[in-house]
Amino acid sequence: MIWQSWSDFWSMGGAAFFVWGSYGVTFALIALELVLVLRRRKQVVHRLQRLRQAMKASARRKEIHQ
C-alpha cells in the first residue's frame, strides 16, 4: 500500500497544492462545461419553441384577416 492513512493520501508527500490544484481545477472545469452545455440546450429549445408558436399565431391572424 502506498498510503499509510487518509491524511497521508491528502498531503501527497507535501505536493498537495500542486496535485489537488491540478485535479480540482480540471474537474471543476468539466462540471462547468457540462452545466453550460445542458443549459444551452434548454435555452435553444425554449427559444425555438417560442419562435415557432409566434409564427403559428401570426399565420392564424393572417388567415382570419383574409
Partner 1 sequence: METGQRFSLFRYAAPQQFYPLAGRLAPWFAAAAVVFTLIGLYLGFFVAPTDAVQGEVYRVIFIHVPAAWMSMFVYLIMAFWSAVGIVFNTRLSAMMAQALAPTGAMFCFVALWTGALWGRPTWGAYWVWDARLTSQLLLLFLYFGFMALTRAIEDPRRADKAGAILALVGAINVPIIYFSVKWWNTLHQGASVSLTKAPSMATTMLMAMLVMALAAWAYTIAVVLWRVRPLILERERHTEWVGDVLETSEARA
User: From the CB of 61, what's the least distance to partner 1, in Å?
Assistant: 19
User: From the CB of 34, what's the least distance to partner 1, in Å?
Assistant: 7
CB 16 within 8 A of CB 10: yes
How far is it, in rounded angstroms, from Cα 11 to Cα 18?
A: 10
How far is it, in rounded angstroms, from Cα 13 to Cα 6?
A: 12
Name the residue nearer to partner 1 (CB basis): 15 or 57.
Answer: 15
| Interface contacts to partner 1, rule CB under 8 A | 2-3, 9, 12-15, 17-19, 21-23, 25-26, 29-30, 33-34, 37-38, 40-46, 48-49, 51-52
